[in-house]
Amino acid sequence: MERGTKKVFTVQVEDGKPRKDGRPAVGPVFRSALSKDGFPQLESDMKTSWDVFRVGAGKYPDNRMLGWRPVKDGVIGPYLWKSYKEVYDEVLQAGSALQKLGVKPGSRIGIYGSNCPQWIVAMQACNGYSLICVPLYDTLGAGAVDFIIDHAEIDVIFVQDKKIKEILSPDCKSAKRVKALVAFTSATSEQITSADQIGMKLYSWNDFLNMGKDNPAQPYAPKPNDTCTIMYTSGTSGQPKGVMLSHESHAMYVKGVDLFMDQFDDKMTTDDVFLSFLPLAHILDRMIEEYFFHKGASVGYYHGDLNALRDDLMELKPTLLVGVPRVYEKIYEGILKALSELRPLRRIIFNALYNRKLTNMKAGYTHKTASPFADMLAFRKVKARLGGRLRLLISGGAPLSNEIEEFLRVTSCAYFIQGYGLTETLGPSTVCYPDDMSLVGTVGVAATYTDVRLEEVPEMGYDPLGTPSCGEICVRGNFFTGYYKNPELTNEVVVDGWFHTGDIGEMTSDGILKVIDRKKNIFKLSQGEYVAVEYLEKVYGFPPTVEDIWVYGDSFRSMLVAVVNPHEENTMKWAESNGYKGSFDEICKSEGLKNYILKELTLVAAKNKLRGFEYIKGVVLDPIPFDIERDLVSATMKKRRNNMLKYYKSEIDKVYQKLEEQRIASKVKSSFPLRYSSQARRQLSPATAASLAGGRAYPTGPLPPLAADLSRWTDAYILGLEAEARQT
């Protein structure tokens, strides 16, 4: 919607309110312009997740629905496909087999394995027979699968073949309550015997479907308010929490995406293809697939190796790609590596074209009209590296850096959308509009079925009625119905119909949102994984050389770092036994102690079976304990994390820079022997200079956005040549 030349994305439906009677101040309530007259009503035949699939299968029975790549003797084959009718028939067979096992409506059914057609068949069988789907996901931590089986009281589990041994392991104590396992393909005779010994039936996929075929049962359609799925997500105490999501909320999501996408010229059609590789146990991939089923479009699954994802891209040639920031960081790095291997003149041309198109997009041109010449000459090659047919890229799960978002908006020749949401909100609560460069660096505006406002957080100094408007992000809509078996936590986060996300946002007067902080001590890294920082600090506090520790993770990074207060007595003992001399302060400056403490922290992480992204990759040592005088802790010795970040920011940035240089150095080898002098690097903008950190050769990224930097960039190259000549 437009008003003159200014785009209008939202409407304000309520005014802000100052603090009163012990209630915190709240900012104005914003809603999508698509819902200015109220949230759109659902169609009578589209009120549940089952309806979404059933209607799609009825409309498009012969369309390709689910694709996979068979692997035989280590060789990955081309994609094979099942039609909507074939999948629907399998769903009825699987649902009938569950009825034959005596499973009643409302029972919890687990699904444990990588994305594949069997995963979807099992999920839709749950939908069609009023059963509750419970995805199992082992990266929630050691023992998470065992915990979820017991907590959700799961009766039957559909399981990937290689995961069967985990369910039958003595460590999975809750397995004894499970009535049956259904393998995605088949099980060994030893596994069948082991299952029998604990009173569990173990079926191959074909045997289970044949049982349903021989004992057909009509679907038992769910009601809109019935629970569709319990999706477990990270909890702050180490135990996952079960998020209950209704059928109606799923249907509203699909309707909302439909209304959003219909605003654009490139509408989604039955010809669209989605490459699925984010776990179906996460909400983002699951909901994208449900939308595709509604459109009668196709979903192809990656073959199981994320390191070889590009092979699937080239084979499938998808039109839609959905990833967390880490995925797009890898794509970005791959493009920069290819650029670094170009001859200098071609790289200069690429960057000049980049700046030309970026300038036009910022002036209001779409990605298609900004510079067709640049697309034809340079950026079509970027698109080709992503399969050649991409029309839409979506990023979610954690914030994406401005630099990468801008780069992909310019070079991908596709729409690019970033959104913000949680499992509790069924995915995106806010979403960016594609082709609007003013939204780069934000998470957009309220989604179709969402109200958004900010709430005061006085202890952190955030005021939604101030300038700028800042506070805890609160959303209202038909989201999750609560945490399974945890009404106390539900009542804590849902107050007067508003879900308190725990994230801190900054909002413009037009309702455009930016995530700037975290209220509670849990955050996401760039790959979309949650980190419970207080829990980790307890775990990492055990090495004898560690007096105290502050763990930090930047949402734009994929790794954790920490500031450590070394234990003085134990540190000096270590120094003496390792030949180090000097005062405690001097010892704390040594690389030897830093490396030793990092090694100790790594051993602690391994001993406690922490996940890979929970390992600390770099440390800063401070011999002075965190204290009140520097305002790093409160009077009760609680860490003031915002103040800690401000105080240690320069040191933290240095650690991240070093880690980044080490990572890039291991991946990118320049084709040029020339190195820039420090004088040459000073001629460049910060963005380009950063690409040369550590004396790396020729700029590997696009030129800085300003066209004026082109001449400085060229001058710097000449200075580099001259410096090299002087050295030789």
**What is the three-class DSSP state of 666?**
helix
Can you tell me the mean pLDDT for 615-630? 93
Can you tell me the mean pLDDT for 476-490? 96
**Torsion angle of the four alpha carbons 234, 236, 239, 240, in this order, in degrees rounded to the nearest 10:** -30
- Spatial distance between the Cα atoms of 629 and 398, rounded to a whole number of angstroms: 34
**Residue 345 CA to chain centroid, in angstroms?**
37
Can you tell me the mean pLDDT for 132-144? 82
Can you tell me the mean pLDDT for 153-179? 95
CATH, domain range 1-38+450-517: 2.30.38.10
CA quadruple 142, 145, 149, 152: dihedral positive or negative?
positive
Q: Is 407:378 a contact under the CB 8 Å cutoff? A: no
**Fold of the domain built from segment(s) 49-72+82-266:** Rossmann fold (3.40.50)
The reported pLDDT for the residue numbered 234 is: 75
The reported pLDDT for the residue numbered 192 is: 96
Q: Is 537:549 a contact under the CB 8 Å cutoff? A: yes
3-state secondary structure string across 239-268: CCEEEEEEHHHHHHHHHHHHHHHCCCCCCC
**What is the three-class DSSP state of 444?**
strand
Can you tell me the mean pLDDT for 287-303? 97
Provide DSSP, 198-234: TT-EEE-HHHHHHHHHHS-----PPPTTSEEEEEEE-
Beta strands in 484-583 (DSSP E): 494-495, 498-507, 513-518, 522-524, 530-532, 546-553, 560-566
CATH 1.10.540.10 fits 530-666, yes or no: no
**What is the three-class DSSP state of 135?**
strand
Whether a cis peptide bond, with omega within 30° of 0, leads into 170 is no
- Spatial distance between the Cα atoms of 551 and 563, rounded to a whole number of angstroms: 7
- Spatial distance between the Cα atoms of 324 and 578, rounded to a whole number of angstroms: 44
The reported pLDDT for the residue numbered 539 is: 86
**Maximum C-alpha span of the chain:** 85
pLDDT in tens, 498-554: 999 999 999 999 999 998 877 777 777 888 787 878 778 888 987 889 989 999 998
- Spatial distance between the Cα atoms of 629 and 633, rounded to a whole number of angstroms: 9
The reported pLDDT for the residue numbered 538 is: 81
The reported pLDDT for the residue numbered 667 is: 56
Beta bridge partners of 418: 395
Residue type, 12: Q
| Among 104, 238, 251, CA closest to 179 | 104
| Among 438, 208, 414, CA closest to 320 | 414
* Upper half-sphere CA count for residue 679 (Cβ side, 13 Å): 8
> Mean pLDDT lowest for which of 57-71, 175-189, 212-226, 666-680?
666-680
| Among 35, 53, 499, 11, CA closest to 254 | 53
pLDDT in tens, 309-333: 999 999 999 999 999 888 898 888 8
Does the structure show a pLDDT above 60 at 683? no
- Spatial distance between the Cα atoms of 179 and 198, rounded to a whole number of angstroms: 10
Q: Is 296:56 a contact under the CB 8 Å cutoff? A: yes
Mean pLDDT score of the chain:
88
Which pLDDT band holds residue 674 (cuts at 50, 70, 90)?
very low
- Spatial distance between the Cα atoms of 546 and 625, rounded to a whole number of angstroms: 11
Q: What are phi and psi of 564, to 5 degrees?
A: -115, 135
Q: What residue spans define the domains of the chain?
A: 1-38+450-517, 49-72+82-266, 530-666, 670-727
Does the structure show a pLDDT above 80 at 490? yes
- Spatial distance between the Cα atoms of 289 and 619, rounded to a whole number of angstroms: 41
pLDDT in tens, 352-409: 999 999 999 999 999 999 999 999 999 998 999 899 999 999 998 878 888 899 999 9
pLDDT in tens, 697-721: 334 444 444 434 444 444 444 444 4
